[in-house]
Copies of this chain bind each other. A is one copy, B any other.
């Protein structure tokens, strides 16, 4: 029987192709199959980041998210549709692993930090050898781009989704030393208000497309728009011990 291949989750970092790790580049080069998530019919951002490192003729498989715009996030239809999509993706990947080939799934940022990869990893890790190559997170790319020193001495850092309700956000912002607020989108006005109520607007920086083309770094107070794209977040650095 053929020895099964290894399933790799490989972080690509925040967007600049030179922020791939050396190990990520090696795995992209040696992959039996290169795979990645993308919107249906698109090449997607992960594939764009990795482009300059993909050898000509490398077998590839895009994993196209199902269209779910019509169904609400937490709804049964949404959950079922996604579940079927993940199961189907797992099937396709398992077929290649069974042929003894390594499958490399490349992901924006770090694969184990809010990564869709995790849904496939959870289904495959007990059936096949799996290996994780960590990546530079999107938030680290953003604080580097902004030149912000995030955590000092014994600072605590809270990573908060903008989906939390306003009062909850205010309370958590008041209780932490440093914060990263992700998943802004249409939550942006609410998040902005929560930061204002916590008295932190003067310390907050808005970053869009950190390390990528079209990068924007602004004091939060100077950001006029009332929504924010997918690749954006707000950074509030800590103020801990600094001799």
Contacts and interface: CB of A to CB of B under 8 A. Distances in A.
Listed from nearest, the 10 A-B pairs whose CB atoms lie closest are A118-B149, A132-B144, A134-B144, A82-B243, A18-B23, A134-B140, A157-B159, A83-B243, A154-B161, A18-B22
Interface string A149-183: 11111111111110110000000100110000001
6 contacts: A14-B134, A22-B22, A135-B136, A154-B161, A156-B160, A156-B172
A6 to B, nearest CB: 12
- For this chain, the copies found in one complex come to 2
A76 to B, nearest CB: 10
B158 A243 contact: no
A48 interface: no
A232 interface: no
A127 interface: no
B155 A156 contact: no
A156 B157 CA distance: 11
A67 interface: no
A98 interface: no
A41 interface: no
A130 interface: yes
A140 B112 contact: yes
A56 interface: no
Contacts of A112: 140, 143-144, 148-151
Given A21-B136, A134-B141, A183 B158 contact: no
B243 A79 contact: yes
A60 interface: no
B158 A158 contact: yes
Contacts of A149: 112, 115, 118, 121-122
Contacts of A135: 136, 140
A86 interface: yes
A83 B176 CA distance: 26
A113 B150 contact: yes
A86 B134 contact: no
Contacts of A111: 144
B132 A147 contact: yes
Given A18-B23, A134-B14, A136-B134, A159 B154 contact: no
